[in-house]
Amino acid sequence: MESFKLDVLVVEDNLSFALELSMMLEDIGYNVIGQVDNAAEALELIFSKMPDIILMDHDIKGEMTGIELGNKIRHLDIPILYITSFGNEEHYEEAKKSNMIGYLVKPIQKYSLRSALELSMQNALLRSSDKDENEEQFLLKEHVFVKKKGVYHKVPIASIAYVSSNDNYSEITTDKGQTFVVRFPLSKMEEMLPSNDFMRIHRQYIICMQKIDSVNLQDGVLMMLGEQIPISRPNRKLLSERLNMWS
C-alpha cells in the first residue's frame, strides 16, 4: 500500500537524542528520510530529497548554526521546526527570520512533539495557501495535504481516482483504493482539482478521466477500481466528447 506520510529531515548534533527523536516521529506517523548533525550533510539531503518538514537544533556541527542554515534555504520554503536545549529570546527572534513554523525546548515528549508538528504544519499551510484557520486540508504543489488522526498526509493529485460527496465532506479515493475524508464540500474540491484531468460527472462524484476502467454511456455508468459510478444524463455527452468517444 502506498504511503502518504510526510517526509521529515532531522538535523541534530546529539546522536542519542536524534535517534530518540526519529523514533518518536516514526511512531507518530511521519517518515524520517535522514538524520544528520551538520549543515553540509543537511544541505545534501535537502536538495536531493526535498523534505516536507525539517526538525533542526539551533546548535549543530560545522560552520553554520541551524538558524544560519535555515536562512540559507529560506527560498525553498520548507517549514522548519527548531529545537534547542534552552529558551533564548535572541535565538527565537533570529529563527523567525528563516522559515520557522515552531520552536521546541528540550526535553521533548512524544505528545508535545506531535502537537507542535500538527499546529506548525497547519500554520505553514495556512500561510502558503491563504485558507481559513479551521480548514484541515490544503492543495499545494500538486498535493492535497490532509489531516488524519492528528497527522498530516501528503496525497498526490496524480494518485486521486475519484472524489465522492458526503454532505459537507468529501471522500478522496486513490488509485490504490486508499480513502481520505476532507472537510470540503464537493463543489470546493471541484474548484481545487485541475479541470484538464478531473470532471464532475454527477452531483456526488468527481472523477479522474485517465483512471476510468470502462464507460457505458447508454446506462449512464462507468467503472473505476471495481466500483460502479453514475453519470448524470446532462454530463454523458460532455464526458464522451472529452474522452473522444462521441460519434
Domain boundary assignment for the chain: 7-129, 137-145+157-242
**Distance of alpha carbon 150 from alpha carbon 155, whole angstroms:** 15
**In the predicted model, is pLDDT for residue 160 greater than 70?**
yes
The pLDDT, as a whole number, for residue 151 is 76
> What is the widest separation between alpha-carbon atoms in the chain?
72
pLDDT band at 104 (very low <50, low <70, confident <90, very high): confident
CB hemisphere CA count around 241 (13 angstroms): 6
Give the predicted TM-score (pTM) of the model.
Answer: 0.64
**In the predicted model, is pLDDT for residue 101 greater than 80?**
no
The pLDDT, as a whole number, for residue 131 is 43
3.30.590.20, 3.40.50.2300, 3.40.50.720, 3.40.50.300: CATH of 7-129 = 3.40.50.2300
Q: Which of 78-82, 84-88, 111-115 has the lowest mean pLDDT?
A: 84-88
For the chain, give the mean pLDDT. 83
**Distance of alpha carbon 247 from alpha carbon 171, whole angstroms:** 34
The pLDDT, as a whole number, for residue 58 is 87
**In the predicted model, is pLDDT for residue 2 greater than 60?**
no
Task: Look at the domain 137-145+157-242 and name its fold.
Answer: OB fold (Dihydrolipoamide Acetyltransferase, E2P) (2.40.50)
